[in-house]
Amino acid sequence: MPPVDAAPAPSGPVRDTRPSFALLGSLQVTLIFTLAAVAVPLPEIGRCFGLAREELILLSAAYGLTFAGLLLFGGRLADRYGGRRTLLAGLLLFGAASAAVPLAPGYATLLTARFAQGAGAALVAPAAMAVLRTLFPEPPAYRRAVAAWGGLSVLGATAGTLLSGVVSALLSWRWALAAPLAVTASALPLVPRLLPADGPRVRAARRPRPDVPGALLATAGIVSVSYGLVLTDARPWTSGRVLGPLLAGGVLLAVFVGVERRAADPLLPPGFLRDGRRALGLVATALTAAGTSTVFVLLSLHLQQERNWSALCASAAFVPFAAALLVSGRAAGRLVARYGPAAVTGGGLAAGAAGLGLLALTGLDDGVPYGYGVLPGLVLLPAGAAAAFAGAAVLATDRVPAARTGLAGGVHNTAMEVGPTVVFALLLATGGDRASLASAAGLFALAAPLLRLARS
């Protein structure tokens, strides 16, 4: 019998992995696109349904709450039942919910559909990384694939901000939120054709049992804490509506830790985060996601509210961001192969700190033209972020046995989803928008030298 941690073998020869990688990558981009796409048309949705500010905040956060809360469970399901099976199940749920979003007749239906979308995404994201391990069983090839994978999430966030603004301005918010359905409908028939079946080694390996109590506690705890942090946008930290979810979530997560210590097959094995390289990779992922999300939110609001730009023009302002991201993302894989993931992540964080610093200095000044007040930081930040994401993805998933690839994907995506919620709320607590950007730059600058510890 082959070893448990051997890479799963494809059911047949895979001559060209590029179409398969393109399919998986497009799904990952779509998952993050769906997270970001609601931000720009949110005011229009509020006017359509007559929503209060707190209802808009909850609608904005709904997808991310279930996405982040269920990722660990989704990763363990991928390890137990196989990446392709779990991916197909997640796509079916994600697609059904995506069909309900643009057709929603009212707020309750739209909110429920966004929650369901997040649950489907929590199955797809870690399962896609498990299939990625099957496609690239050799460590050097897998490292290159993961480095390329690392930049897909911020690409999806950028695409969501750009396209949703354009489509909302030209058509309506319903068309802007219909893109995930189109991608899912196109992807479903391609999955059995392009992705290898879950081979006998996956079935023969010792499968982790679904840790349902741990999944419920982790999901409830993450959702509760995240919801409390999201509400700090509209209420003070001392408000009962904020403190209640934060305290409840803290208690649930503490109980989760206690339950996991006694579980036969814990949702998150105790030693999984003791690897220093993996921990630093996850921290870098969370910080990079938080920094880019902070810029998207604060700069979009500044351009529309302070400079009176239209939603279409505000979306167009991020075109250079997307271009720099694509260029840097294409180079990141080669840089990781040449200099190592730790060095590339540290360099990316340093460049990102410089970009955030420039935006803090001049990006929010009304009298400073976009060309030299906003643009330099808006190019330097994504160039660094793409490199940091690529290197951090390798650090977070390197040295992981194949039987835990889904778990690694779930943990990595959890850092990417929870990081922006937690760090963004803390940044906003530092003061105004300028102070938030300066604080984010400081965090990047402090984290960059720590990556030297991961080079061993």
Predicted confidence at residue 5, as pLDDT, reads 40
pLDDT tens string 132-191: 888 887 877 877 878 777 767 677 777 777 777 778 777 888 988 888 999 999 999 999
pLDDT range class, residue 393, cuts 50, 70, 90: confident
What's the pLDDT band for 282 if we cut at 50, 70, 90?
A: confident
3-class SS string, the chain: CCCCCCCCCCCCCCCCCHHHHHHHHHHHHHHHHHHHCCCCCHHHHHHHHCCCHHHHHHHHHHHHHHHHHHHHHHHHHHHHHCHHHHHHHHHHHHHHHHHHHHHCCCHHHHHHHHHHHHHHHHHHHHHHHHHHHHHCCCHHHHHHHHHHHHCHHHHHHHHHHHHHHHHHHHCCHHHHCCHHHHHHHHHHHHHHHHCCCCCHHHHHCCCCCCCHHHHHHHHHHHHHHHHHHHHCCCCCCCCHHHHHHHHHHHHHHHHHHHHHHHCCCCCCCHHHHCCHHHHHHHHHHHHHHHHHHHHHHHHHHHHHHHCCCCHHHHHHCCHHHHHHHHHHHHHHHHHHHHHCHHHHHHHHHHHHHHHHHHHHHHHCCCCCCHHHHCHHHHHHHHHHHHHHHHHHHHHHHCCCCHHHHHHHHHHHHHHHHHHHHHHHHHHHCCCCHHHHHHHHHHHHHHHHHHHHHHHC
Mean pLDDT of 301-305: 75
Fold of 18-190+267-455: Growth Hormone; Chain: A; (1.20.1250)
**Confidence band (pLDDT; 50, 70, 90) for 14?**
very low
- Asked whether residue 377 carries a pLDDT value surpassing 80, the answer given is yes
328-342 as b/e, with b when 16 or more CB fall inside 10 Å? bbeebbebbeeebbb
Contact 84, 195 (CB under 8 A): yes
**Residue that wins the pLDDT comparison between 429 and 43:** 43
Of the listed ranges 197-201, 331-335, 382-386, the one predicted with least confidence? 197-201
Q: What is the pLDDT of residue 15?
A: 55
Highest mean pLDDT among 74-88, 175-189, 287-301: 175-189
Q: What is the pLDDT of residues 214-264, one digit of tens each?
A: 778 888 887 788 778 777 766 777 787 788 888 988 898 888 888 777 777
- Average pLDDT for the chain: 80
% of the chain with per-residue pLDDT over 90: 11
Domain boundaries, the chain: 18-190+267-455, 212-266
User: What pLDDT does 90 receive?
Assistant: 94
Is 8's pLDDT higher than 60? no
Determine the pLDDT at residue 225. Answer: 81
What's the pLDDT score for residue 6? 40
Q: 101 falls in which pLDDT band (50, 70, 90)?
A: very high
The band of 28, judged by pLDDT with boundaries at 50, 70 and 90, is confident
Give the pLDDT mean for 111-126: 92
Residue 266 clears pLDDT 90, i.e. is over it: no
- What's the pLDDT at 197? 78
Answer yes or no: is pLDDT of 10 > 50: no
Of 61-65, 113-117, 175-179, least confident by mean pLDDT is 61-65
